[in-house]
Amino acid sequence: MPRPEAVARAPGRVNLIGEHTDHQDGFVLPMAIGLATTVRARPRTDDVVRLESDAVHGAAEFRPGDEPCRVAPEWARGPAAVVALLRDAGLPAAGLDLGVATDLPLGAGLSSSAALHVAVALATIGAARASGAAVPPALGERATLAALCRDAEALGTGVRCGIMDPFVSLHGRRGAAILVDCRTFVVTEVALPAGRIAFVVADSGVRHAHTSGEYGKRRDECETAARVLGVKTLRDATPDLVHTHRAALGPVLLRRARHVVRENGRVGRAAASLASGDDEAFGRLLDRSHASLRDDFEVSCPELDALVEIAREVPGVLGSRMTGGGFGGSTVTAVRPGSAADLVAAFRDEGVRRLGRGVPSRIVAAAPGAEAMIGA
């Protein structure tokens, strides 16, 4: 009898606005995109999980009892953590062959890591179902799976990311961004009429290394700022509260808190602008978000700033900002569809002039969230 196989496909994402707000229980406005990671899961007769990836041209093997953060090679630590947490959540342990294929560029700020984790989770659950195992009902809930994938990132790689990336990979909608309240997980769909705005993602070529500690440092600073302000997380702070406590915060924490609090406000206004058709206002909010990430949260870099400047010089561009955790990765630019080709050409040509290389960019459209295709 052929062994049952499960296949899952999980998309990457572009965050339109709401950066470094998810780890503060705040608001984000991302969209899932067409680029995705696919994982095929096939049960084995032993208890080994063997992972093979076309993206890194390599394989990794681990066993149920292995500590995820010690699994080698390093790229397999997140998937190992996903498998470990699924078992902790009551999924019967089984050996699996997991084959990974992806068209998401790695480390480009499009959330390739969350897409991998979501696809591994869905394929592993799908394989268990296909072989007749009882799957705990909670693992059928997408918000629960998103939280599990977020926790896997911390367990496997030590980076305490927020929930945005796995959440949007699981909840993406075709033709819409999703406004997510990262405290309550309430999702509001925000339509992105293709005829009005195109989104272009440009890759700075600078590869972020959140593991280098800057992401965690920002998060720690936010937590300290919340304590100084007497709130649970910065989600609960207002611009006035931050202003009142500016002396106690000191200059660095003041800037960090100011970014998060204002960015949360911008997310709501951005969603409202899109809904009311005020695309210019939406674009201005993207521009302000970038300035705040550059000056107050200090997670941009010269290459990202240069890409944003290149974009803003192109007629038809509404707004531009870095997207994702920062320190490299990509920018997202909102542009009138008729000017998108000019923008792509500007990244290529101006990139050579300002960064010494043509900058690859592409138009991305809002795509549906992850799907489990066979056996799930």
Comparing C-alpha atoms, which of 289, 284, 283 is closest to residue 304? Answer: 289
Chain residues 189-228 in contact with ligand GLA, contact rule CB under 6 A: none
Is residue 91 a contact partner of residue 125, using CB atoms and an 8 Å limit?
yes
Instruction: List the alpha helices (DSSP H) in the chain.
Output: 77-88, 112-130, 142-157, 164-171, 214-229, 239-244, 246-276, 279-295, 302-312, 340-355
Tell me the residue type at 337.
P
The answer to whether 265 and 234 have CB atoms below 8 angstroms apart is no
Among 11, 14, 17, 23, binds ligand GLA (CB under 6 A): 23
Does the footprint of ligand GLA cover residue 105 (CB under 6 A)? no
Nearer residue to ligand GLA within complex by CB, 19 or 350: 19
Beta carbon of residue 240, minimum distance to ligand GLA (angstroms, whole number)? 24
Q: Tell me how far the alpha carbon of residue 225 is from its chain's centroid.
A: 24
Say how far apart CA 238 and CA 153 lie, in whole Å: 30
Our finding on whether 19 is near ligand GLA (CB under 6 A) is yes
In the complex, minimum distance from the CB of residue 224 to ligand GLA, in angstroms, rounded to a whole number: 17
Give the count of residues interacting with ligand GLA (CB under 6 A). 10
80 in contact with ligand GLA (CB under 6 A):
no
From 60-68, 132-140, 159-167, 366-374, span contacting ligand GLA (CB under 6 A): 159-167
Is 236 known to be catalytic? no
Choices 58-66, 162-170, 195-203, 248-256; region in contact with ligand GLA by CB under 6 A: 162-170
Give the C-alpha separation, 87 to 19, whole Å: 32
Binding ligand GLA (rule: CB under 6 A), the pick from 9, 20, 117, 288 is: 20
Residues 6+ apart with CB under 8 A from 341: none
- CB nearer to ligand GLA: pick between 164 and 179: 164
Catalytic residue among 22, 165, 203, 296: 165
Candidate residues 161, 267, 322, 344; the one interacting with ligand GLA per rule CB under 6 A: 161
Angle between helices 246-276 and 214-229 (to 10 degrees): 110
> Which are the catalytic amino acids?
165
Interacting residues with ligand GLA (CB under 6 A): 19-20, 22-23, 161-162, 164-165, 324-325
